[in-house]
Structure 1
Amino acid sequence: MFDELERLRDVKELFALLQHYQQAGEADRQAWQDRLIAMEGVEARQLVKLHGELLAYGWLEQNTGATPALRAGTAAHCYRITPAGIRALKQVRTQQMQVA
């Protein structure tokens, strides 16, 4: 059986990406965040897959409607973490603390 939380715990890049959107949205949970277009140690193609995975799990929400004017080199205001994403991060952190 596939366990999304296990995957979030085991794939550090997936965890780091979701954590990025959590931290970016701390000041205003309703605000849309710019898409992270580069991540240290992760190829662009893999980063696309990681974003897709977070969307598929319902941990990241995509803004496909009201986006601002295009800016070169960015995908502005297109993602934000969902309440389910915040819960998933908390659950994984709790599991990691219990193991440590």
Structure 2
Amino acid sequence: MPGGFAGASSRVVAEAKFTPEVLAKVFGPNGCTAEGSGPFTMDRLKMTGRWGTWVCGYGARWRYTYVWPADHRYLVALQIKMVRAEDEAVWEHMLSSLTLHGHW
């Protein structure tokens, strides 16, 4: 079943000392293999971090992007489980429409 996740937290930076690089190394779906990763820039929100893809034996792919602003006050995590080719468009929509409200 496809699905997406979006989250933002200052606590994981302040208390757990997470960075986009740490998240990319620590979190991943069970039974999946990393297919690729690299630096990521979200120009619209002036954020940088990491992107990656996992391929799973049950026919699914997971994509992630972990980013933070230049002052590193908080992290934003985006993930999606893709099971159909059409899910790629959903991922692109998540990236292009993300907005942040509040104080992180």
Q: TM-score, normalised by structure 1?
A: 0.28
Which structure shows the bigger proportion of residues in strand conformation?
Answer: 2
Which structure shows the bigger proportion of residues in helix conformation?
Answer: 1
Q: TM-score, normalised by structure 2?
A: 0.27
